[in-house]
């Protein structure tokens, strides 16, 4: 079997899909994208295409190594996301050709299902209590919200009070036993993160995500001294080498590699195993489309330390185009009692609606994240 063609589709709301074809008619799908940089990643995929055409798609480890090490400059969001989508598609091809789900090829599943959480609210936490009640009523046992608006490096207590009031309203709305993840989104700098972590201690959070940006790892140990909530991090780390210092330094309790950013199934399998050796939990980042989610579930299936899965069904980014719009076997992501079953179909276990993908690619997108500014006019982290 030989790879014959790579086709990319920029589709709304903010995704990039990849189809890899072979000379035996078996195709695989991947989701290589950096949100807000879809065109850049698309170009990177087609640069790697030059190497892949004519190759045996089964040699995934070798192809991964060449795509990563074959260029003098390597790593980073764009390069690793391009590799990630290609890697997903190659595993999809191999699974389909052998009639097995990818997790069966990775050693077999160690769980039948995994807990999922639902996003509530939007970028500006307000009126979130009713949204929290609604998702809990729908069966979810865990939720996540943006825990902070924009904060300057040192800001006023009024900002802290507003955040505490919002998360407190959510805790009151859902009761004491629903998991709440508070995503600081990298919006908080070290001086305020310490204050905020201490103030949120009362709500017994499931985790605090990105209390500071990944490049400020040295601040995490001090922040951890101000709270007992697990600290989660990793959506802006792209390889096992990026995670190496995080794990060896004891900075985090939960890692969140993104299967569409951190080198795909091949690399995230290794990252998950590294984390297990440090007794660190796995909760893959996935505010993306159905291909990315299906890839995450393959890693969840075989990772002992996986405990919860992010998913974006119904998230505010997806208005007008959502995950299930792009697949025909819509029951594959059926949520029940706060869990989703591990897919059992061959490859990724999803059936992409190619006609709909082609139709929506005519519309495309040029999604960009918002740009925020502080009252003094300086740029705020989004």
Residue numbers annotated as active site: 185, 285
- How many whole angstroms separate alpha carbon 196 and alpha carbon 209? 12
User: Hey, is 150 helix, strand or coil?
Assistant: coil
What secondary structure, in 3-state letters, does 181-244 show? EEECCCCCCHHHHHHHHHHHHHHCCCEEECCCCHHHHHHHHHHHCCCCCCEEECCCCCCHHHHH
Q: Which residues contact 225 (CB under 8 A, 6 or more apart)?
A: none
Contact indicator for 20, 27 with CB cutoff of 8 Å: yes
- How many whole angstroms separate alpha carbon 56 and alpha carbon 357? 26
- How many whole angstroms separate alpha carbon 174 and alpha carbon 133? 6
Q: Helices 264-277 and 77-98 sit at what angle, rounded to 10 degrees?
A: 100
* φ, ψ of residue 216 in degrees (nearest 5): -110, 45
Q: Which of 219, 161, 158 is nearest to 186 (CA)?
A: 219
Q: Any bridge partners for residue 7, and if so which?
A: 19
DSSP conformational letter for 114: E
- How many whole angstroms separate alpha carbon 37 and alpha carbon 367? 8
DSSP 306-368: B--EE--TT-GGGTT--GGGGBS-GGGG-EETTEEEPP-SSBTS--B-HHHHHHHHHH-----
């Amino acid at each position: 079997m030989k790879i014959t063609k790579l086709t990319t589709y920029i589709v709304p709301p903010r995704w990039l899909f990849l189809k890899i074809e072979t000379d035996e008619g078996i195709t695989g799908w991947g989701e290589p994208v950096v949100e807000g940089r879809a065109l850049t990643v698309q170009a990177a995929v087609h640069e790697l295409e030059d190497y892949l055409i004519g190759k045996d798609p089964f040699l995934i480890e070798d192809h991964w190594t060449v795509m990563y090490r074959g260029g003098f400059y390597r790593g980073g969001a764009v390069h690793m996301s391009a590799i990630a989508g290609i890697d997903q598609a190659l595993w999809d091809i191999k699974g389909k050709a052998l009639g097995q789900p990818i997790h069966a090829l990775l050693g077999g599943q160690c769980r039948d299902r995994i807990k999922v959480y639902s996003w509530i609210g939007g970028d500006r936490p307000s009126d979130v209590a009713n949204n929290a009640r609604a998702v809990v009523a729908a069966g979810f046992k865990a939720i996540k919200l943006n825990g902070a608006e924009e904060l300057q490096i040192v800001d006023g207590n009024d900002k802290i009070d507003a955040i505490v009031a919002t998360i407190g309203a959510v805790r009151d709305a859902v009761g004491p036993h629903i998991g709440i993840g508070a995503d600081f989104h990298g919006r908080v700098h070290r001086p305020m993160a310490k204050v905020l972590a201490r103030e949120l201690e009362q709500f017994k959070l499931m985790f605090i995500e990105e209390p500071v940006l990944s490049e400020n790892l040295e601040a995490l140990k001090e922040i951890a001294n101000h709270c007992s909530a697990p600290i989660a991090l990793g959506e802006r780390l792209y390889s096992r080498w990026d995670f190496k210092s995080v794990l060896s330094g004891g900075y985090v309790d939960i890692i969140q590699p993104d299967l569409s950013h951190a080198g795909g199934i091949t690399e995230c399998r290794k990252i998950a195993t590294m984390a297990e050796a440090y007794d660190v939990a796995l909760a893959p980042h996935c505010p993306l489309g159905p291909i990315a989610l299906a890839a995450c579930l393959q890693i969840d299936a075989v990772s002992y330390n996986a405990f919860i899965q992010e998913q974006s069904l119904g998230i505010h980014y997806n208005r007008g185009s959502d995950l299930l719009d792009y697949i025909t076997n819509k029951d594959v992501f059926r949520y029940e009692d706060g869990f989703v079953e591990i897919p059992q179909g061959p490859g990724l276990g999803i059936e992409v609606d190619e006609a709909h993908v082609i139709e929506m690619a005519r519309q495309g997108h040029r999604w960009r994240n918002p740009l925020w500014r502080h009252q003094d006019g300086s740029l705020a982290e989004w």
